A and B are shown apart, each in its own frame.
Chain A
């Protein structure tokens, strides 16, 4: 259980004279910008195609939250497994999935990333270590713990990023997962994409201590960080530090409150 004494230490990127993202260089920064713009343009085209009835089912756009997926995934290693909820287009594209592959899935085609069997909420890409979009709120948290367990079991130095929305904070699956990650010191970062709303319910109406989510981490003796998810470089700095910290054994699992906002509705 070592490593839990320094719980709830916020990672602050703004006060550091030198930032981790400084090392990205011009080409790295351009890559990040391109990825965010790709996600924005992709999602705009999704909305258009949805209105043309070429895309069916539920379709949750990532517009507004681009900085979270792009910044956090850039801070991870390419072979670190990621897993997320149903608002998953951004993570897939940030991991390098070709947009054709993603759009084909939305069109229900066999050439899609899940062969047209999954749809918008179920993007999977094994070659890019993306373990899926999962559509039952909070249901991906135990799966993420399983990925981290398997990493530890195999003695690998990877770190799992498990994304969830702020609405998932109130599911039992999330709390059971936090506890399990903490007691077994699993290499996992729980990433709350805190856009302030679980569908139509403001976080303050559904979540205790909504203005200070550090207490959720403190309850499990887990490392906490808060970052401005609207600032892609701050997000990068936060995740690079956490992933490197877990990899180096400096601390155990982490919980990050990524404050962001979605500009569109819950779903198309």
Chain B
């Protein structure tokens, strides 16, 4: 199979859906004439024109809200946040308006919109530009959330997101944009259903659940641990809402141990939620407590060494797995 970059996969997903559906358009900062701050929308202005690839002024509230209003009117906008860190100034629009409109209007106004952009630490950007927003927003009823970790998932999940009738929070990773991986051919109409986890690696000793960029750390950690005779099953849920808890629970029933890795802060995190759902369904199958690997509970630091230590990493995951499986 051909290999392309994560950013190219995102680009293909948008282009294919815009060719398929006239109602789909892209709006955001620098998406058109600049070809995307991170070149995700490279070439799209030339292909689709300024009516459908729209450069917005730096007005997150207005362009996020514009997308929601346009979606209420029957269009299917893709709203790019240059970084999810910048969505915070548009919080009222993306939290109050997009996910609640369908319910609040008694079912009259669906909001088929995709909010997408870089999520998580980019690399020494400091605290304000290094947000991982999944745990802040995942508790809002009415939205869906996808966090692709590979080029194939990025493409397949984004195409599904654009076809969804509910608002989708689509969390990409700046650190993965240049990552290459196999992706089905252009004419394959490659989509991935939401709520379907991907088992990255099979193993019988301990389950590791990870999302987004940390999936790669989990796979690396599993390789390290295999040298010690600990064989891990690595699961990437790919979407947080809906969450494929069934696949996670089935794995835990097999391995009896669970480590959850996520790049948000520990208090009320995605990892905390997954751990709780596993306790609710499979407490008796666990041979030890569930261990979480999160960001450290501090704002993201600038210093390179501190930043890498603050984020989930391979060493932390290995330590967690050893700590939970010691009694196996």
Q: Identify B103's interface contact among A117, A141, A144, A148, CB under 8 A.
A: A117
Q: Is the CB of B68 within 8 A of A143?
A: yes
In Å, the complex CA distance between A124 and B51 comes to: 29
B131 close to chain A: CB less than 8 A:
no
Note all chain B residues with C-beta closer than 8 A to A145. 62, 65-66, 69
A173 and B104 within 8 A (CB) = no
Q: Are A153 and B66 in contact (CB under 8 A)?
A: no
Pair A153/B65 contact, Cβ less than 8 Å: no
Cα separation A173 to B320 with both chains bound (whole Å) = 45
State whether the Cβ of A122 lies closer than 8 Å to any Cβ in chain B.
Answer: yes
Pairwise interchain contact B57-A112, C-beta atoms closer than 8 A: no
Instruction: Please provide the chain A residues from 73 to 124 with a CB less than 8 Å away from any CB of chain B in the complex.
Output: 81, 83, 112-118, 122, 124
Q: Is the CB of A176 within 8 A of B73?
A: no
Chain A positions within 8 Å of B61 at CB level: 142, 172-173, 176
> Is there a chain A Cβ closer than 8 Å to B108's Cβ?
yes
Which chain B residues border A56 with CB–CB below 8 Å? none
Assuming the A-B contacts A124-B105, A126-B108, A179-B57, are A142 and B68 also in contact, with contact meaning beta carbons closer than 8 angstroms in the complex?
Answer: yes
Instruction: Establish whether residues A150 and B104, one from each chain, have CB atoms under 8 Å apart when the complex forms.
Output: no
Question: Complex: how many Å from CA A178 to CA B107?
Answer: 29
B73-A147 in contact (CB<8A): yes
A147:B72 contact, CB within 8 angstroms? yes
Find out whether the CB atom of B106 lies under 8 angstroms from the CB atom of A136. no
Interface contact A114-B63, CB-CB below 8 Å: no
Contacts A117-B104, A144-B69 given; indicate if A131 touches B62 (C-beta within 8 A).
no
Interface contact A179-B97, CB-CB below 8 Å:
no
Cβ contact of A118, chosen from B64, B93, B105, cutoff 8 A: B105
Using A131-B109, A179-B59 as known contacts, list a sample of 18 further A-B pairs with CB atoms less than 8 Å apart, ordered by residue number in A.
Answer: A117-B104, A117-B105, A122-B104, A122-B105, A124-B109, A131-B69, A139-B92, A142-B65, A142-B66, A142-B68, A144-B69, A146-B67, A147-B72, A150-B69, A150-B74, A151-B73, A173-B65, A173-B92
Binding site for A on B (CB under 8 A): 25, 51, 56-57, 59, 61-75, 92-93, 96-97, 101, 103-109
16 contacts between A and B (CB under 8 A): A114-B106, A114-B108, A118-B105, A124-B104, A124-B109, A126-B105, A131-B109, A139-B93, A143-B66, A145-B62, A149-B69, A151-B73, A173-B93, A176-B57, A176-B61, A180-B66
